[in-house]
Amino acid sequence: MDVRLQTSMVFHLDKCIGCHTCSIACKNIWTDRKGAEYMWWNNVETKPGTGYPTAWEDQSKYKGGWEENGGNPSLKMGSKNSRLLNIFHNPDLPKLDDYYEPWTYEYEKLFDAPEGSDQPTARPISMITGKHMEVEAGPNWDDDLSGSPVYAANDPNLDSLTEEQRQELFDIERLVFFYLPRICNHCLNPSCVAACPSGAIYKRGEDGIVLINQDKCRAWRMCVTACPYKKTFYNWSTGKSEKCILCFPRLETGQAPACFHSCVGRIRYLGGLLYDADKLPSSVQVPDGQLVDAHRDIILDPKDPKVREAARKNGIDDRTLEAVERSPVYKYVMEWKLALPLHPEFRTLPMLFYVPPMLPVMAKATEGVYDTANDELFSPIEKARLPIEYMASLFSAGNVDHVTLSLKKQYAVRLFKRLETVGDVDEKVVQFAMNECNMTAEEAETIYRLTSLPTMDERVVIPPMHREEALQMLNDNMWEEKGSAGLGKRQLPVRGN
């Protein structure tokens, strides 16, 4: 057993209000720079929709992630030899148009414009060329289903639906959407690391954060293609690739990452997970349908004495283990089995998990009266407006059982609390719902508490980073680092360096 620590995340989609505050917090801190204008390390997508970059989930076009390849996963972008042959021209890079051309407005014109018969206007100007531009798309152009016939209709996940289901989905009365915030998944089997010809990308041993060494990056941009989530970006100004760093300078000083900290809906949970690195290869060699189970199989119980023993042997500190025990991520992913990985079929073992959203109540307008379509207060999962197959395509590689269980549990918790606080539902119905997913009253209560009333310290349990121990391995002179944290040496990334 080779126990390692991963800083891991859960996004509770049922709570996401799609306000993009996380994106803005991230933008202001990390990507408000020349060359990074088009990057959104954190972005929020509307589903069904094509997301950012457009249709990123369609790997037949973007060639990201791993291919099953008969139980021996290989990079979808090609073999080592073909990558070497294409090293000076990577043919599978997203176009700027697939992201969007970043723009701002000529605000100063509102003040400077000479007096005229018309109001002064602030025309959009490209942040890349500096010239006036016609805005045609943006990173959340399909927000709240805007442009649905174009963007929502081309969501790659809709391929899992029947033609009838697709048509129903876009019926005016059934139109539905939810939000999907995305950051780097800090995968256990990261394809970006595997694809880098310079060895510039690495997974930090002490916490599993995936980083790009700006000194080593040589701008081959293989990681941009290899990442199936398209969360590595190429900075055209510095000539280096960059990505979400999970705000590690904040984590090292005990603060939540900026997107977690600013989250209005409080949907984001962060905590440590222990996993068995020995089991890692076999967990990506299973058929699609078993991927979620295999993924959960490598995550270890931090309370198991054997695991703790092996963890200590691997140099994981007792205080870290204590934090991992309180990890909200472990509860959502392992104990309650509510949270699922996004697109496990890419086989990168993403360590950001999502609680699939309960969808809104079915409603129908009859003779001008808008009424809920069924008698029950919460619509059962079977009558969900978004077919379960769609959710399964997103969160469990097509395995409907995992998504069904997660949604039924959430449904049962809602009924359970409704009975307790209001009492207008039939107790038998509640009991039936809870039995269906083997849930005790105690579990329902803890799920409810961590979902609805968690404090900041319950949502974000940062395992002590013990940066000093990691540094000790690299540097003899510890006094240099005393009182410092984060980025370490502050040398600007420079093209050609």
Closest by alpha carbon to 143, among 231, 228, 43, 226? Answer: 43
- Among positions 88-127, residues that touch other proteins (CB under 8 A) are 89, 91-95, 97-98
Residue 94 or 341 having the CB closest to other proteins: 94
- Considering the rule CB under 8 A, would residue 150 count as an interface residue with other proteins? yes
Q: Identity (one letter) of the amino acid at 22?
A: C
How many residues does the structure list for the chain? Answer: 497
Calculate the dihedral angle through the C-alpha atoms of 56, 58, 59, 63, rounding to the nearest 10 degrees: -50
Of 147-155, 263-271, 337-345, 405-413: span binding other proteins (CB under 8 A): 147-155
Residue 62 beta carbon to other proteins: minimum distance, rounded to whole angstroms: 7
Query: Which of 11, 220 has the CB closer to other proteins?
Result: 220
Residue with tokens 């442009």: 147
223 is an interface residue for other proteins by CB under 8 A: no
- Alpha carbons 275 and 283: distance in angstroms, whole number: 12
The one segment of 15-23, 151-159, 194-202, 458-466 that binds other proteins by CB under 8 A: 151-159
Near other proteins by CB under 8 A: residue from 74, 154, 165, 374: 154
Cα 67–Cα 229–Cα 40 angle in degrees, nearest 5: 165
Name the residue nearer to other proteins (CB basis): 50 or 348. 50
Residue closer to other proteins, measured from CB, 52 or 354 = 52
What is the Cβ-side half-sphere exposure of residue 142, based on CA atoms within 13 angstroms?
26
489 lies in the site for other proteins, by CB under 8 A = no
Residue with tokens 């033609």, as numbered in its chain: 163
**Least distance in Å: CB of 18 to other proteins?**
21
In this complex, which beta carbon is closest to other proteins, that of residue 28 or of residue 129? 129
Strand ranges for 297-427 from DSSP E = 299-300, 340-341, 352-355, 363-366, 369-372
- What is the closest distance, in whole angstroms, from the C-beta atom of residue 170 to other proteins in the complex? 13
How far is it, in rounded angstroms, from Cα 415 to Cα 426? 9
Q: Does 137 bind other proteins (CB under 8 A)?
A: yes
- The dihedral of CA 253, 15, 452, 432: what is its sign? negative
CA angle 335, 398, 276 (to 5 degrees): 40
Of 150 and 478, CB closest to other proteins: 150
Please list, in sequence order, all residues whose beta carbon lies within 8 angstroms of the beta carbon of residue 232, skipping any fewer than 6 positions away. 184, 192, 201, 212, 223, 224, 226, 241, 242, 243
Residue 128 and residue 37 in contact, taking contact as beta carbons nearer than 8 Å: yes
The nearer residue to other proteins, 149 or 496, going by C-beta atoms, is 149
Residue 281 is which amino acid?
P
**62 makes contact with other proteins (CB under 8 A):** yes
Q: Say if strands 124-126 and 3-12 run parallel, antiparallel, or are unpaired.
A: unpaired
Cα within 13 Å of Cα(33), Cβ side: 15
Q: Which stretch binds other proteins (CB under 8 A): 49-57, 120-128, 203-211, 410-418?
A: 49-57
Among 55-63, 120-128, 170-178, 471-479, the segment contacting other proteins (CB under 8 A): 55-63
Task: Kindly state the smallest distance separating residue 40's Cβ from other proteins, in Å.
Answer: 15
* Among 116, 130, 149, 368, contact with other proteins (rule: CB under 8 A): 149
**Selected range binding other proteins among 2-10, 53-61, 158-166, 371-379, rule: CB under 8 A:** 53-61
Name the residues that contact other proteins, by CB under 8 A: 50, 53-55, 58, 61-63, 89, 91-95, 97-98, 136-137, 149-151, 153-154
